[in-house]
Chain A
């Protein structure tokens, strides 16, 4: 009896997967054909996760939106090269990560002109630990992103996918084309490094 139920459940989940694959296939065909409603459908499905990921790599919501637009443009431009070796979502997330890492690299080459507020905090002199309470949410965000910017690319990618998009280790491993154990290690080091950088910052500026 229980075996029968299990088989039914497996068949049901197979049907769900097949239906999803079919609808994904249909969507891809429509995208290749350049149908505008298909573009809208894809954007509606992926706008939020793509924006969240982009937010993890950028210092402002505006930059994240610009980056997300670039991601979708790239997706539409290269949809005819999509070979379906992975799911459409994984492919889109890979494009998002690559675009975001390029964005971070380009930004590092430019002068960071928004650092004035953080510098102001840095110049407050020797104050006690509770001084962090004087930091606004915006200033805290700047400190966090400064620390994130200093993480190696792979650690940062794993961290952003985990914390901003709440992905499971196996999903992160698929996007990053690596093993689950490698993701575990990357996340462990990312968190340790992030804590260390934040601690250094607070020790230096707020203690």
Chain B
């Protein structure tokens, strides 16, 4: 085997999944080629990291941490729910107000529905819009004098 062929099989050789014949050929090449042998060592060391990382330490607090997180997450979920209820209540009050206003207006306008522009005597005197402003009074007088 040359260097290129060895590189084709190297990782499988290191993990031990290469068949016996090929393994022997790789081994032979590694004995003679220092470059490939050094790279094989590096690859072995890199993959060895996995074996180290797989070791899990005991942690008696892990379950407590997760359950604690879960309870605080539940609380966080319940706060938006509360504010949603608050907004819904506010919207209900506004809708109730609008409907009440419309109904009061209907009752106030009497059985005949909305009236036309005619006003009663009391309304005439009580409604400023129908009073003659003092400026117009003088203006009319001035125009008459001309």
* Chain A interface residues (CB < 8 Å from chain B): 36, 39-40, 43-44, 47-48, 51-52, 55-56, 61, 65, 68-69, 72-73, 76-77, 128-130, 132, 135, 137, 140-141, 143-144, 147, 163-164, 191-192, 194-195, 198-199, 202, 206
Nearest B-chain residue to A192, judged by Cβ:
B11
Given contact pairs A132-B38, A137-B52, A140-B49, a sample of 12 additional A-B residue pairs in the complex whose CB atoms are under 8 Å apart: A39-B63, A40-B63, A73-B69, A73-B73, A135-B45, A140-B48, A143-B46, A144-B50, A164-B54, A191-B12, A195-B43, A198-B43
B62–A43 CB distance below 8 A: yes
Write the nearest CB–CB distance from B53 to chain A, whole angstroms.
Answer: 5
| Distance in angstroms between the alpha carbons of A195 and B82 in the assembled complex | 55
Residues of B within 8 A of A (CB): 7, 10-12, 15, 34-35, 38-39, 41-43, 45-50, 52-54, 56, 59, 62-63, 65-67, 69-70, 73
Contact across chains for B63 and A43 when beta carbons are under 8 A apart: yes
The 10 closest A-B pairs by CB, nearest first: A129-B38, A43-B63, A195-B11, A132-B42, A72-B66, A191-B11, A141-B49, A144-B46, A40-B63, A48-B56
With A39-B70, A129-B42 known to touch, is A52 a contact of B63 (CB < 8 Å)?
Answer: no
Report the separation of the CA atoms of residues A44 and B95 in the bound assembly, to the nearest whole angstrom: 53
Question: Roughly how many angstroms separate A65 CA and B10 CA in the complex, as a whole number?
Answer: 33
Of all chain A residues, which has the CB nearest B51?
A163
Task: Indicate if the CB atoms of A73 and B66 lie closer than 8 Å.
Answer: yes
Q: Which of A40, A65, A140 contacts B45 (CB 8 A)?
A: A140
Chain B contact residues: helix, strand, loop or mixed: helix
User: Complex: how many Å from CA A143 to CA B41?
Assistant: 15
Contact (Cβ within 8 A) A69 B63: no
Q: Look across to chain A and name the residue whose beta carbon is closest to the beta carbon of B53.
A: A55
The docked-state distance in angstroms from the alpha carbon of A130 to that of B38 is 6
Shortest distance between the CB of B2 and any CB in chain A (Å): 16
A51-B56, A65-B62, A164-B54 known; A140-B46 Cβ under 8 A: yes
User: Which residue of chain B has its CB nearest to the CB of A44?
Assistant: B63
Which single residue of chain A is at the shortest CB-CB distance from B65?
Answer: A69
Q: B35 → chain A, closest Cβ, in Å?
A: 6
Q: Which residues does chain A contribute within 8 Å of B70, judged by CB atoms? A: 39, 73, 76
Give chain B residues whose Cβ lies under 8 Å from the Cβ of A199.
7, 39, 43
Q: List 19 A-B contacts (CB under 8 A).
A: A48-B56, A56-B50, A65-B59, A69-B65, A69-B69, A73-B66, A77-B73, A129-B38, A132-B45, A140-B48, A144-B50, A147-B46, A164-B53, A164-B54, A191-B15, A194-B11, A195-B43, A198-B46, A199-B7
The CA-CA distance from A161 to B73 in the complex, in Å, is 30
A202-B39 in contact (CB<8A): yes
Distance between Cα atoms of A164 and B42 in the complex (Å): 19
CA distance A44 to B65 in the complex (A): 13
CB distance from B45 to the nearest CB of A (A): 6
Q: How far is the CB of B116 from chain A (nearest CB, A)?
A: 65
Q: In the complex, which residues of chain A have a beta carbon less than 8 angstroms from the beta carbon of B39?
A: 129, 199, 202
Given A55-B54, A194-B11, A195-B7, answer yes or no on A69-B66 (Cβ-Cβ < 8 Å). Answer: yes
> What's the Cα separation between A147 and B39 when bound, in Å?
15
